[in-house]
Amino acid sequence: MEWKEQYKSFLWILGFFLVAYFMPIEEENFSIAIIAAFDLLKWYAQEHVLLCLIPAFFIAGVIAVFISQSAVIKYFGAKAKKWLAYLVASVSGTILAVCSCTILPLFSSIHKRGAGLGPAMAFLYSGPAINILAIILTARILGFELGIARIIGAVVFSIVIGLIMSFIYRKEEKAKAENQLAMPDVEEPRPLWQTAIHFFILIAILVFVNWGKPDGTTEGFWYFMFANKWFITSVFGIGFALSMIYIIKVTKLFVILGTAAVVIAGLIFYHNPSIPFVVGVVATTLALTFTEGEPNQWLGETWGFTKQIMPLLGAGVLIAGFLLGSENNGNGIIPKEWIVSLVGGNSLFSNFFASITGAFMYFATLTEIPILQGLINNGMGKGPALALLLAGPALSLPNMLVIRNVIGIQKTIVYVLLVVVMATISGMIYGTFF
């Protein structure tokens, strides 16, 4: 056994050496792809990690600590009514407004707490796929029919994928269900409504700090919400401070000092609201660090998800940028012109290619819409456009790497294949009628 481990290490070193030795850095396309990879990583760090992933990690920590295993099992496990579990999971994205990466800590957390594979996979798909803001913008920018097709396809996808995954692994799920049915009901340490309030506040903060600016208008409800998003976030921030004191039982002095620091930072850096947000994250981390019991466990779970997911996300973003490029630095090693030329019309191949390309590309929340608009303007068919919308936001290479760590390679492959095949079929049907 020991010699196998030694050969494994040797092969890693040999592989690294061969890549370095034959690296074609003198080729212009390769150099551009390298720059695009790091440009995408930089953009991801600047625009996505702070406002999307950090709140998501804290939300995942809440699920892991304050939402008990019995509560998750009640709504997503063997004791739950199947129609209720799939219904809740399939529409979860309407309130989350997350991308394929931000959903990962939330999925990891409910899976860890005992959710059934079917409802958990439905939740994993629906989280980024049924983002209500993305649905509205899709209808406004890409057309009403495409917006309706996207929301119908996403809801149906999440339920069908969950049911198929549950059926394929029914023996494994049956054993898990028997264990859950044998578990006695455990009394909750606090009323569920209190945990729900704290959870809702964190979700609201995640939604409003990421509220995007509507294209081409400075009027209406959506622009009003965008213009006032930091004010709305600050109101929920006050609610968060009160929840930390009276629900989570964090030491009151730490919360008051942290709130004061955020207010002072807001007055000084009013032109850059991200800075008070960072101060709030630091203050929350310190308050949880020095408060024993559940608050400290919350921080521990949050850090655990961060350690598990962030390295894989970073590697995945780099690879995606190298292969497919970034918005600012053009093509990756695969030119965008090739992709556009391959997704015209409504053939089986064009829909499949749109699905598989979307599955490996990374889309931050709402970014798939301007990208798709550019592709459509360059000749992309309506069928492949829907296929990309149904496969792209729900999957990405970073997303796959993390899912593999949570549910294993085999289940990940099955999940990816289901998404790609169903997106391809949906694209062909939609392209035939529209």
DSSP assignments along 179-204, one per residue: HHHTSPP---SS-HHHHHHHHHHHHH
Cα distance between residue 175 and residue 291, in whole Å: 38
- Give the chain's domain count: 1
Of the candidates 260, 213, 204, 259, the one whose C-alpha atom is nearest the C-alpha of residue 232 is: 204
Is 129 part of any domain? yes
CA distance 377 to 214: 20
Q: What is the pTM of this model?
A: 0.69
Beta carbons of 280 and 244 less than 8 angstroms apart: no
9 has a pLDDT exceeding 70 = yes
Question: 376-420: per-residue pLDDT in tens?
Answer: 766 778 889 889 888 887 887 877 888 888 888 898 899 999 999
pLDDT of residue 111: 75
Task: Return the higher-pLDDT residue of 70 and 384.
Answer: 384
Say whether pLDDT at 213 is over 70.
yes
Residue of 257 and 68 predicted with greater confidence: 257
| 133 pLDDT higher than 80 | no
| Residue 68 maps to a domain | yes
For the cut 90, the answer to whether the pLDDT of residue 299 exceeds it is yes
**Which residue, 375, 366, 376, is CA-closest to 434?**
376
Q: How far apart are CA 236 and CA 208, in angstroms?
A: 9
Contact (CB, 8 A) for 357 and 339: yes
Q: Which domain holds residue 345?
A: 40-250+291-433
pLDDT band at 73 (very low <50, low <70, confident <90, very high): low
Model confidence at 4: pLDDT above 80:
no
Query: Does a structural domain hold residue 358?
Result: yes
**Cβ atoms of 141 and 215 closer than 8 Å:** yes
Examine residue 337 and state whether it is found in any structural domain, yes or no: yes
Q: Residue 48's pLDDT is what?
A: 72
For residue 255, pLDDT over 90 is answered with yes
- The pLDDT tens digits for 313-372 are 787 778 877 876 776 766 778 776 776 778 877 888 899 988 988 888 776 655 677 677
Q: How many CB atoms lie within 10 A of CB 37?
A: 23
Alpha-carbon separation of residue 82 from 85, 131, 359 (angstroms): 5, 23, 28
Question: Is there a domain that residue 126 lies in?
Answer: yes
Helix (H, G, I), strand (E, B) or coil at 44: helix
Most confident of 56-60, 164-168, 337-341: 164-168
Judge whether 223 lies within some domain: yes
Is residue 316, in this structure, part of any structural domain at all?
yes
Assigned domain for 275 exists: no
CB atoms within 10 A of CB 290: 14
Instruction: Provide the pLDDT for residue 239.
Output: 95
Q: Highest mean pLDDT range out of 146-150, 151-155, 308-312, 427-431?
A: 427-431
Identify the pLDDT of residue 2: 66
Name the nearest CA neighbour of 345 among 306, 385, 310: 385
pLDDT of residue 434: 77
Least confident of 179-188, 201-210, 326-335: 179-188
- Percent of the chain with pLDDT strictly greater than 90: 20
Instruction: Give the CA distances from residue 238 to residues 60, 133, 286, 358, 370, in Å, rounded to whole numbers and listed in that order.
Output: 21, 25, 17, 39, 34
Which of 58-67, 191-200, 257-266 shows the lowest per-residue confidence on average (mean pLDDT)?
58-67
